[in-house]
Amino acid sequence: MFSIRDYVDRNVSRNSTTSRVSTGSTTKRPTIKDVAAQAGVSISTVSLVINDKGYVSDQTRERVQEAARKLNFVPRPAARALPSKTTGNVGFVVRDDHFRRTEPFYTGVYLGTEFEANNRELYVLLTTIPTEYVPGKHTPRFLREQNVDGILVAGKVAPAFLAEASTSGVPVVLIDFEHDTLPAAVIDNRGGAHAATRHLIDRGHRHIALVGGDMDHPSLHARREGFQLACFEAGLSPDQVQFIVASEGESDYATGTVLAKRLFANGAVPTAAFCINDATALAVIDQAAGLGLKVPDDIAVVGFDDVPQAKHNQPALTTVRVQTDHLGELAMRYLVDLIEESRSRKVRPGRDPHRITLPTELVIRDTT
């Protein structure tokens, strides 16, 4: 390993002050006690007011609120956590390779959860886990320390992790993934795929291919179902529909390129392709261009996800928009619901978990 010292650049200008600046006021940060004194009430009352709990007369409430405002009082998270037996944190787990992906899908989801967490006065502890998850070894610290009130799991993860999370004692909500009976916030993959396929059919296409990598993921599986349903409804016969699908591997640009070659290698090329996601669609378009085929005249292409590149591509890609932020928000709200539910022990008798489904939107651009 290396030492930090190895990298210190001594050529930095030295005529400088330090970065640590005092907070200006010498008085230390106020506590609930200071607020109580200022308002002339007990700390119990202050606590009730800032938590909006119990019965407090309007008059004292206002007096407390004014005192808090005047002193610039902000409760310390740790001091609240200790007696209340809650942490004020939620965990956000995603596989590292997913998080690193070029398409900013999970960063969008994360930002949505962060936004909603801010509204709910929660901190989000973002942790990545490896694809090959080994329980004791890779267990997120917040699980070991039981330092969260709930857990969000984004995307596909190892079942071993889900088992661990499920037995942690706090609610778990999956995002864009499904597993057993765990509650989940998912995209309307089937509906989106159906709309996209329907759109191709409406444009007059009758020979259509589905192109995509491994369909093992529940979301991709649902997209295939939506595609099939639309084909069936339109009365297409099986020989009008092709499935260009890899038996393994991610549905990424590289896999898409391989599949596109297979697609165009066939004698009778379909007039339209529903691609399982944008990465695949972009690969198909590039391969088509390489062969001198015109999009959409020779082959129409529709994707799924509406990644940033979709809009900028030449030609701009018709696709299904997924509002990733919104998905994260939705999941966080759902999790908070479950957390509150589990606190008011009333609803113990195992309410069934739900899937919450986020609608999608077909965005018609230049490839169809």
Residues 2-41, interacting with DNA (CB under 7 A): 29, 31-33, 40-41
**Longest Cα separation, the chain:** 87
Q: Write the binding mask 310 to 329 for a second copy: x where contact by CB under 8 A, - elsewhere.
A: --x-----------------
Rounded to whole angstroms, how far apart are CA atoms 235 and 229?
A: 10
Q: Which helix (H) or strand (E) covers residue 265, if one does?
A: helix 253-265
- Residue from 33, 69, 70, 76 in contact with a second copy (CB under 8 A): 76
Which amino acid is present at 193? Answer: A
Here's the x/- map for a second copy, 13-42, by CB under 8 A: it reads as: xx-xxxxxxxxx----x-------------
Q: How far is the CB of 82 from a second copy (least distance, A)?
A: 5
d(CA 46, CA 56): 10
Task: Kindly provide the b/e burial profile for residues 293-315, where b requires at least 16 CB atoms within 10 angstroms of the residue's own CB.
Answer: eebbeebbbbbbbbbebbeebee
> Which residues 203-262 are close enough to bind a second copy by CB under 8 A?
253-254
* 61-80 binders of DNA (CB under 7 A): 61, 73, 75-76, 79-80
Candidate list 11, 16, 59, 167; residue touching DNA; CB under 7 A: 59
Q: Does 342 bind DNA (CB under 7 A)?
A: no
Paired tokens of 255: 């896999």
| Chain mean position to CA 135 | 23
- 70 vs 304: CA distance, rounded Å: 52
Contact between 84 and DNA by CB under 7 A: the answer reads yes
Q: How many residues bind a second copy (CB under 8 A)?
A: 85
**CA–CA gap between residue 361 and residue 359 (Å, rounded):** 7
| Cβ(302)–Cβ(200) below 8 Å | yes
Q: Which of residues 137-166 bind DNA (CB under 7 A)?
A: none
Partner from DNA, a second copy, none contacting 278, C-beta within 5 to 8 A by type: none
Residue 77 binds a second copy (CB under 8 A): yes
Residue located via tokens 């004194």: 37
The pattern of x and - marking residues 131 through 160 that bind a second copy according to CB under 8 A reads ----------xx-xxxx-------------
Long-range contacts of the stretch 346-353 (C-beta < 8 A, 24+): 352/181, 353/181, 353/182, 353/183, 353/184
By CB under 7 A, tell whether 90 contacts DNA: no
Binding interface with DNA (CB under 7 A): 29, 31-33, 40-45, 47-48, 50-51, 53-57, 59-61, 73, 75-76, 79-80, 82-85
